Structure 1
Amino acid sequence: MSSDSDDDIPLARSNGRVSEARISKQADRAMDKASAKARYAPEGVSVRNGPILDDKMDVDEPTTNGAAKRKARVSTGKAVNYNVDESESSDDAVPLAKRQKVSKKKAVASDSDDDQPLAVRKAAKLPPKVDPTTFGVESSDDEPLNAKLAKQKASIEKKAEKQAKAIRAEESKAKKPTPKKAVKKESDSDEDLKPKKRKSISATPAKKINGVKKADSDSDVPLKKTTAQKANGKVKSEVSTPTKNGKAKKDEDEEEETYRWWDAPKKEDNSIKWDTLQHNGVVFPPEYEPLPKNVKLRYDGIPLTLSIEAEEIAGFFGAMLNSTHNVENPTFQKNFFQDFTDEVKKTGGAKDKDGNKVEITEFSKLDFKSIFEYYEAKNSTKKARSAAEKKADKAAKDEAEAPYTTCIWDGRKEQVGNFRVEPPGLFRGRGEHPKTGKVKRRVTPEMITLNIGNEVIVPAPPEGHKWKAVQHDNKATWLAMWQENINGAYKYVMLAAKSSIKGQSDYKKFEKARELKKHIDRIRRDYEKDLHAELTADRQLATAVYLIDKFALRAGNEKDTENEAETVGCCSLKYEHVTLKPPNTVIFDFLGKDSIRFYDEVTVSPRVFKNLKLFKRPPKTNGDDIFDRLNTTQLNKHLTSYMPGLSAKVFRTYNASFTMSTLLKELKDTNLSIPEKVKLYNDCNRKVAILCNHKRTVGANHEAQMEKMTDRIKGLKYQKWRTKQMILDIDPKQKKKMGADFFELDEELDESWILEHQAFLVQELRTKIEKKFQKENEKLAAEGQREMKPKELSDRLEAADELEKKFKKENKSKKIEAEGKGPTVEKYETALKKLDERIATMLLQAEDREGNKEVALGTSKINYIDPRLTVVFAKKFNVPIEKFFSKTLREKFTWAIESIEDDDEWEF
């Protein structure tokens, strides 16, 4: 070691292998010489990026925002039961738990090979490579896609550098020189804005610190100054909800004022969050209902009598037997079995029908089939309720929960977010969480602390219970809090996303990212310089900041592997998480946020590649830290020396928002339709995803969704062809006038598809008639009138029978008769134009959805891109904001929508 002192070297967290304190010039030159003739790929882009998929990975389905979906006409396949042998699953005599045939995970070899990434060794399915079509980026053989993207990214970074200098220059001009010799103020010039010279972090052992990083202070960013017109931050609400007849619906809170916190004056003491607070506590889940006496858990064929507590836990597992991803997971089974048997022992043991004790020692002998069937039947009964019954039950539930949905915060009504206490069950976690399957215990009032105003009535706990504590902390924004038993984490009841408190949090997050604009050039200049530093600690710090800035890596905190999932960030990367692929490709493969295995294949600068190679030098091997002379505390301290509150997360928000802002400025308001403008925005959003390395895996139902869209487009083309045939039925001379090709059937529409589509249209009409009939009957019943007889439905269904006959006749005669009242060629030509517009719109949507398959546009749009950019685009291109933000998001981002209305010149 070339360290001056043994104290300079931190204690290794595994195997005692650490990097030398200094990197000799000889070692530097040797590595430079070895790679002198290499042809480097353009740096700064991901080759492939996203979660790793394996056969058992659950993929969340995308939300539809309430949009109606067309049902698939043909089933896409049976649900897969991954590990159950079909020959065994048909045998009812064998317990389900026993039939759970689990494939053992192969042990991973301890040796790591730099040219063989972890994902390849584990034979997992990698994310797809970046391609031009996904992101709407034109590419050619002369200039590869990666080179084009790298060039675009470099151009954006150059603009950021110029902007940062311009901002500082403008601020310097605004400062007037003081003639008196006074206290020296900080200057925002390049020299004065440099961080104070720090002592080398190699002098301090890199001791990792467990725990959660403190959130940025609410006082970091001041709110906008109030205008004279809105001095108190309140205006009368002018929003009304139109009804079907066009009249505005009057709300009972119509006169209630909307709190415009973004215009309100800032409190002197920003740590005080409220002066008065009143709420009604929380809603508890219903108590456990014991199973019927004939429904029993069986052990080795013996029906068991259990305590209520143990029976409830058995029910948790039994109710979810169809979730094979969980119940067939060995870790899930092991954790559940441990907690279940502990509860059985604690509550008197399990007994057979004669009262004899039964020792439960093997999970495979447990049979949950009876419990599963009971809960399945119960769920089926619940689903089978009529629409009127469901509506009545929902109304009763809403009425019971209404007092808990809002609170009175400083005299105004605010929406409460998660006012319901989570019910007990089995913890699932995400990814490969080590505690999956453990029992989430029921939360009682004795575990809950309320936070409420000092002079208001404290809500009463359920009868026979009492609150753990009641406090009056006006510096806290939570209303209730308790500690869960799985990870010992604290759960909080907070205000809803659309509340003013949450809105201020979002506002400050994006303002913090805007503040980074004037520092980003110096940060990048400094880390580029320190990539060559002699001290290993300084070089590791610079390399880490480079990776955080360029590839959106999280900082990373050390975890307790026995109690938490071993998730990884930049500072906690191990030897085996980084694979080096010459000349300058780096493969990251690790458990990321929420224990999801993440794979990122990126091209880096030659200097960063060399540094990572140095940080992985022998004798380091698996289990050793790459950044062994750096921890998150040191990293965050370094970042905050540039600006208060700067963290890895701020880089992600800044890069996404600045990139989006730059791309949107390049757009011109051409004569496009609304769908084309929406696609234009989404194309920019996709570019942000690749340039800022935000991608996702392709959804499990993406292909099915694309198939449905293709069918809908083909259906419109078929409708268009029929319309053209009707023109010929009225006027056969049109064939000569318009040309025979105009009336030809589209190549996509073969005979078998047409027959299938016709059957689909007939069934769709039948379903529509039946649903309308049922709805009308329910309305009559609710009004106390006599319901319509089944004959009425039969009469209505004749329309579907007639349509079926019409199709059969057309297929036989090869002739389409004109339809509608007073059919004319002009009417049909108008109909054809409308169909063309619908087809063009749907083709755009299909192209957009295909492009979105690897990009979580919603996530980046909500969390990383400043919502004011979306509002500016909508305003500039005259697109309704509803095309980008759902009702929930419009409420969440009211501050962004309304503040832009008052500021036409706003820029990120």
Structure 2
Amino acid sequence: MARLAVSSDSEDDKPLATATNGRAKANGSNANGKRPLAGSGSDLSDDDKPLAKRAKGSTNGASASAANGNASKRKVAEASDDDDDRPIAQTLKSVAVPMPGAVKQSDDEDDVPLAKTNGLGGRGRPRQSYKEESRSAEDDDDSDVPIAKKAAKKRPSNGNGKSKQPPKKKVKKEESDPDASSDEDVPLAQKAPAAKAKAVPKPAATKRKSEPTTPAVKKAKVEVKKEVKKEVKKEASLSPVKARGKKAKSEDAEADAQAKAEEAEEEESYKYWEALNAAGDGSQKWTTLEHNGVLFPPPYQRLPSSVKMLYDGKPVDLPPESEEVAGFFGAMLETPHAQDAQFRSNFFDDFKTVLGKHPAYNGVKIMSLDLCDFRPMYEYYEAERAKKKAMSAAEKKEAKKVKDAMEEPYLYCLLDGRKEKVGNFRVEPPGLFRGRGEHPKKGKLKLRLYPEDMVINIGEGTKIPVPNIPGKWREVTHDNTVTWLANWKENVNGNSKYVFLAAGSSLKGQSDIAKFEKARELKKHVDRLRKDYTADLTSKIMADRQRATAIYFIDRYALRAGNEKGTEEADTVGCCSLRYEHVTMEKPDKLILDFLGKDSIRYYNELKVEPQIFKNIRLFKDGKTELDDLFDRVTTTGLNKYLQSYMQGLTAKVFRTYNASVTCQQQLEKLTDPDATVAEKILAFNRANREVAILCNHQRTVSKGFAASMDKMNDRLRALKYQRRKLRYALLIQEPQLKKKRKELVEEESDLDDDWIATYEDEQRKKEIEKAEKKFEKEKEKAVAEGDDEPKASILKDRIEAINEEYDRLKGERGSTTVELKSAKPSEKLEEAIEKLDERIKNFRYQITDKDEGKEVSLTTSKTNYIDPRIIAAWAKKYGVPIEKVLSKSLITKFPWAVEVDADFVF
């Protein structure tokens, strides 16, 4: 059957508008990244840095000593009034430990600008010493009061309205520096740093022994130990004075890394799925929200004066507005889009509109697209692409550094005091609309967006972000019942587009959980619903019979419900909007469905249906013409209303999620052999996933490069066989008696002929020489960078000679069973190497089979949107398959709640 390209997008991506049951308490803070939000303390002063990283001689006084976790009492004595009144971010770096759900902010903190709260712009509780912690534990009433006010509150008055400083306390000599007694009156900035810095104690309230240590924490702690060991080894060769300095540095590093490890543990311990908030419309989704808006693309850069489009062979001097639009088409000149009649027509209509507002400077009138020559623009853009591709590694690294610095402020937001990653924060640049399939508006101009087009949603009382280009936001709203950060209306289809949090964020995760839980809930009602709609298939009321037949198609074949389309929208249909022309009948029980589905993807399926369904379709078609609706008495709204009488929140698309998940679970149970290898289990998983993709019509056309890709895979398989044959010959030379005992050692590979071997060895020779040359160039660059002498050219020459000698020797062995390995190996080692290659060849064959079977089906969409990821995670645990083998890194990030499921989970 024909299978065409399928969109990776799904209407199920949108958050569901229903509440879910089962709330539990969270146990920590969020596990998202740690880059600070721009404008919120990303450029930290010395005062804002963690103590372990501060320069020696820091002037931050008591705040520095307290944050360093020193047991010394000197920190109390040295405190100053100025420190107490500084914003939190300038005294102690806060490590946020937000509670699940909304985090109530104090009135005082709400007025503090984002950049002056803490290192991430958050308002979490700062780290405390043991004494401070015990005091705060005893006095819960002022736990939310800013530090400066707490200190003033507890300090006795001196009678003139000012608070007294506490009396200085003597510091034990063994706890201070060697010269502590002599420098007591020296200003803090001039005092020597403490010889030992202890890690800041973690507040007891955030420690959860029942939680396993996360990989990030383990990694951080291992790195700490490694660094400390390195420093300790160096100390032996140092003088006593230097050794003490080194020791202090190593302990500072240990404290800093330990603090980071603890912070990672606290962040990762926040599990939003254990504190699931309601996801229904109108419910509050957040309490506080801070972000930096969206990132607009840079303004248009004019082409060089020598690059101009031609009209009827003459150069056209276009103003920047018109030149930019012409460049859009010029850049796509060699693509299928530029040859498409509909695309060309829509582009030229919009191009003429722009030219009407911004005509050519030299007065050229452009009346026909066929007379336009965009080749000079195309060649310029191709040259620019080639330059970018030819950039050195250092240049690419520098370009990426600049790009990352520009994007950094927009990567994260603060949601209820937690750092959460933002999804599509980049504003879509102008260009030509491509659409999917036969979209009627493909080729139309997507206009450049400005701040005046954008609505920003942010917490009330929060600092409004400033756009990165001139302009003012169209509107700033404070709606905590929605989860979008910004929205705008695009000009081509008039659709609203939104900026949401990233796929792995808590709000997205809660929406996903609600969606799959709703599909699981359907299990309790589906039998009753099927019984009822089966009975209605013979109803005398035509509306009921049509509705029952429509539900049959939605339930059994995962058809989308379908909505009415406007005249300017693509003619895509679903079940309720099927027309007479979309269904062909073949007796006795065959229906052929052929129509454009979502995103203009063709749906073609030949169905063998029950006699009553066949009879109903014939009845519905009776007396109608090609363009008449098949289900003319059913609407999507009415259908969903009927479904909700069985279960709250039930709609037609819940069936797709339910049936996809059930099908996956059934196929996994059927196809998985517990005793199979991991590669065989992965093949079984992909076959189960393929059944789901076929059910949901996630089809695609075979890519143009598929044949070439398969050829490469077959060549890689032959290369493995080539290596195995060499090892077999070497083993038979050492153990000739095995020729009779083990027939597989003397069997020739059917696809290893002399011509292929000659081609393979010649290609490998070239690759080895290129690799040696690249390595030599890197050695030269490194030597120049470090100020050393460049390696001599003779070194490269010797390496190439050695490569040629080796491949000349292999050339002489062609057609012979006599081989000589690079390094001699005993028979046992040869046996082990052959066994490993046997396993690799076996597994690679499974990969080739899997790729060939999946050439017409997209497996990504079903895993992303329809299959409950807990089914996949439980299967992987049950059968010992690494989760990363069946779920991509992005999906593991999207579904962290699913990865923690038990192996006995059943949908």
- TM-score of the two chains, using structure 1 as the length reference: 0.72
Q: Where do residues 662-677 of structure 1 align in structure 2 (5 Å cutoff)?
A: 662-666=666-670, 670-677=674-681
Deviation at 1:500, TM superposition (A): 0.7
Moved more, 853-862 or 786-795: 786-795
Alignment gaps of 5+ in structure 2: 30-97, 101-205, 227-256
Q: Is the 8 A contact 2:668 2:684 kept in 1?
A: no
Counterpart for residue 880 of structure 1: 882
Q: Where do residues 472-871 of structure 1 align in structure 2 (5 Å cutoff)?
A: 472-561=478-567, 563-618=568-623, 620-666=624-670, 670-690=674-694, 694-736=698-740, 738=742, 742-780=745-783, 783=786, 787-788=790-791, 790-811=793-814, 814-871=816-873
Pick closer, same or farther for the CA change 1:268–1:426 going to 2, 3 Å.
closer
Moved more, 582-591 or 424-433: 582-591
Measured in 1, the distance between the counterparts of 2:657 and 2:532 equals 21
Write the deviation string for residues 299-351 of structure 1: whole angstroms up to 9, x where unpaired.
1011111121001000000011121x10000111001111111111112x224
Pairing partner for 2:367 from 361, 369, 379:
361
Write the deviation string for residues 663-704 of structure 1: whole angstroms up to 9, x where unpaired.
344567633322222223223323444466654443333332
Q: How many residues align?
A: 693
Pick closer, same or farther for the CA change 1:313–1:783 going to 2, 3 Å.
farther
Query: Within the alignment, does 1:906 sit opposite 2:905 as a pair?
Result: yes
Q: Is the 8 A contact 1:277 1:453 kept in 2?
A: yes
Counterpart for residue 283 of structure 1: 295
Deviation at 1:375, TM superposition (A): 0.8
Query: Within the alignment, does 1:50 sit opposite 2:3 as a pair?
Result: yes
Write the deviation string for residues 498-542 of structure 1: whole angstroms up to 9, x where unpaired.
101111111111001001001111111111111111122111111
Counterpart for residue 337 of structure 1: 348
Q: Is the 8 A contact 1:483 1:490 kept in 2?
A: yes
Counterpart for residue 257 of structure 1: 267
Counterpart for residue 146 of structure 1: none
SS in 2 for 1:50: coil
Write the deviation string for residues 463-496 of structure 1: whole angstroms up to 9, x where unpaired.
5311111111111111111111111111111100
Counterpart for residue 221 of structure 1: 20
Aligned CA-pair RMSD: 3.0
Q: Is the 8 A contact 1:655 1:692 kept in 2?
A: no
Pick closer, same or farther for the CA change 1:776–1:574 going to 2, 3 Å.
farther
Q: Where do residues 202-213 of structure 1 align in structure 2 (5 Å cutoff)?
A: none
Counterpart for residue 66 of structure 1: none
Deviation at 1:886, TM superposition (A): 2.1
Deviation at 1:383, TM superposition (A): 0.9
Measured in 2, the distance between the counterparts of 1:789 and 1:648 equals 72
Write the deviation string for residues 816-863 of structure 1: whole angstroms up to 9, x where unpaired.
332143432222222111111111111122222222223322222222
Q: Where do residues 28-67 of structure 1 align in structure 2 (5 Å cutoff)?
A: 48=1, 50-51=3-4
Moved more, 679-688 or 607-616: 679-688
User: Aligned letter for 2:854?
Assistant: N
Moved more, 222-231 or 434-443: 222-231
Measured in 2, the distance between the counterparts of 1:297 and 1:693 equals 43
SS in 1 for 2:814: helix
SS in 2 for 1:747: coil
User: Aligned letter for 1:575?
Assistant: Y
Counterpart for residue 401 of structure 1: 407
Pick closer, same or farther for the CA change 1:784–1:491 going to 2, 3 Å.
farther
Report the structure, 1 or 2, having the larger helix content. 2
Higher relative contact order (CA 8 A, sep 6+): 1
User: Aligned letter for 2:344?
Assistant: Q
Measured in 1, the distance between the counterparts of 2:474 and 2:701 equals 44
SS in 2 for 1:828: helix
Moved more, 741-750 or 227-236: 227-236
Measured in 2, the distance between the counterparts of 1:681 and 1:668 equals 8
Deviation at 1:654, TM superposition (A): 0.5
Measured in 1, the distance between the counterparts of 2:586 and 2:295 equals 54
Q: Is the 8 A contact 1:223 1:262 kept in 2?
A: no
Measured in 2, the distance between the counterparts of 1:377 and 1:720 equals 45
SS in 2 for 1:470: strand
Counterpart for residue 5 of structure 1: none
SS in 2 for 1:263: helix
Measured in 2, the distance between the counterparts of 1:268 and 1:533 equals 38
Deviation at 1:441, TM superposition (A): 0.6
Query: Within the alignment, does 1:417 sit opposite 2:455 as a pair?
Result: no
Measured in 2, the distance between the counterparts of 1:333 and 1:677 equals 49
Counterpart for residue 309 of structure 2: 297
Write the deviation string for residues 523-567 of structure 1: whole angstroms up to 9, x where unpaired.
111111111111221111111111111111111111112x21111
Pick closer, same or farther for the CA change 1:610–1:774 going to 2, 3 Å.
farther
Measured in 1, the distance between the counterparts of 2:884 and 2:423 equals 23
Measured in 2, the distance between the counterparts of 1:862 and 1:695 equals 15
SS in 2 for 1:854: coil
Measured in 1, the distance between the counterparts of 2:353 and 2:797 equals 60
Pick closer, same or farther for the CA change 1:821–1:755 going to 2, 3 Å.
closer
SS in 2 for 1:419: coil
- Name the larger-Rg structure: 2
Measured in 1, the distance between the counterparts of 2:496 and 2:658 equals 30
Deviation at 1:782, TM superposition (A): 5.2
SS in 2 for 1:450: strand
Counterpart for residue 458 of structure 1: 464
SS in 2 for 1:358: coil
User: Aligned letter for 2:284?
Assistant: I
SS in 2 for 1:292: coil
Q: Is the 8 A contact 1:220 1:645 kept in 2?
A: no
Deviation at 1:637, TM superposition (A): 1.1
Query: Within the alignment, does 1:350 sit opposite 2:364 as a pair?
Result: no
User: Aligned letter for 1:480?
Assistant: A
Counterpart for residue 471 of structure 1: 477
Counterpart for residue 240 of structure 1: 216
Pick closer, same or farther for the CA change 1:446–1:591 going to 2, 3 Å.
same
Q: Is the 8 A contact 1:388 1:778 kept in 2?
A: no
Measured in 2, the distance between the counterparts of 1:717 and 1:232 equals 58
Identity over the aligned pairs, expressed in percent?
A: 49
Q: Is the 8 A contact 1:387 1:778 kept in 2?
A: no
Measured in 1, the distance between the counterparts of 2:620 and 2:788 equals 81
Measured in 1, the distance between the counterparts of 2:818 and 2:321 equals 69
Alignment gaps of 5+ in structure 1: 1-47, 53-58, 64-211
Write the deviation string for residues 378-401 of structure 1: whole angstroms up to 9, x where unpaired.
111111100111011102211221
Deviation at 1:579, TM superposition (A): 1.2
Deviation at 1:773, TM superposition (A): 3.6
Counterpart for residue 308 of structure 1: 320
Measured in 1, the distance between the counterparts of 2:279 and 2:554 equals 35
User: Aligned letter for 2:837?
Assistant: L
Pick closer, same or farther for the CA change 1:653–1:743 going to 2, 3 Å.
same
SS in 1 for 2:441: coil
